[in-house]
Amino acid sequence: MNQLVKAVIYSNSWVAICFAFLTYGTLSYYHLPNVFTYTSINFFSVLSAYQFHRLYGGKQKNQAVTEREKWITTHKKANSIIALLSFSLLMFSFSSRIWTANTLAIGVALMIIVIFYVVPLPLLVKSLRAVPYIKSLLISISWTSMLVVPFINENKHLPVLFLIFIFLQTNAQLILFDSRDVNRDERSLKTIPQIIGINKSKLVVFCLVIIGYILMTIETGFHPIFLAGITSNLLGLIIKRNQFDSLLAELVWDLPFFIIGISFCFI
């Protein structure tokens, strides 16, 4: 059972599943067509992007230190197969007639960000990830954009407050992962935990979550099930430092997207 959990989480399938549930719940709530198509596209987008980053990043490391890194190193062939399959299915989706020129342009732009997030840019001689201050910003913009695409594609009104909520929520979750990597990331990255420390970063996470749910209440009205989403975020804040590299931490830190997606099915 433990090996199965490791496979789901360390292969990035868990974060892809969480974002897929977020996509499905969001588009269902706002009554968009082609919900399953967009959900599948976002699932394979997240999975292929993370697999690419992990596989490329693994080439830059001489030694696996954490359990996650050891699992990735041990299962390189399986990860490569998952990456190839997910990317192939993602590319197949671009042949769908649902796409417009504008959304295809957004998709191409996101793919460029995914590639050069880890691959050094010719002019900068370093990747986008290595540029100070913008690591979390790039990821948050990318994830939010993936939810913008269906609305533009279907010519629907953009739920601006909801999209700001997702942007804030994504940043909140990324701060927790940056806290895990605070001693492994290059100091030049200038992540929030590097700048203000882990404890103060948790306060920032709390504020981002509360502001986000205030915006959601303005957007949809208050629903008691929102408390489940807030609770899932609070669980991430009580993870102890000696558990930052554990399966539990990754499971809990990605959980809010899953809970938000489920919540939309009940409001």
CATH of residue 21's domain is 1.10.600
Per-residue pLDDT reduced to its tens digit, 176-208: 999 998 888 888 889 999 999 999 999 999 999
The whole-number average pLDDT for the span 57-78 is 71
The whole-number average pLDDT for the span 107-135 is 86
Question: What's the CA gap between 32 and 25, in Å, rounded?
Answer: 11
Q: How confident is the model at residue 64 (pLDDT cuts 50, 70, 90)?
A: low
Domain limits for position 95: 2-264
For residue 60, the model assigns a pLDDT of: 52
For residue 266, the model assigns a pLDDT of: 84
- Average model confidence (pLDDT) for the chain? 88
Question: What's the CA gap between 6 and 16, in Å, rounded?
Answer: 14
Which of the pair, 49 or 80, is modelled with greater confidence? 49
For residue 88, the model assigns a pLDDT of: 87
pLDDT above 90 (res 131): no
Give which of 167, 115, 169 is closest to 142, Cα–Cα.
167
Count of domains forming the chain = 1
The whole-number average pLDDT for the span 30-50 is 92
For residue 157, the model assigns a pLDDT of: 94
What is the model's pTM? Answer: 0.92
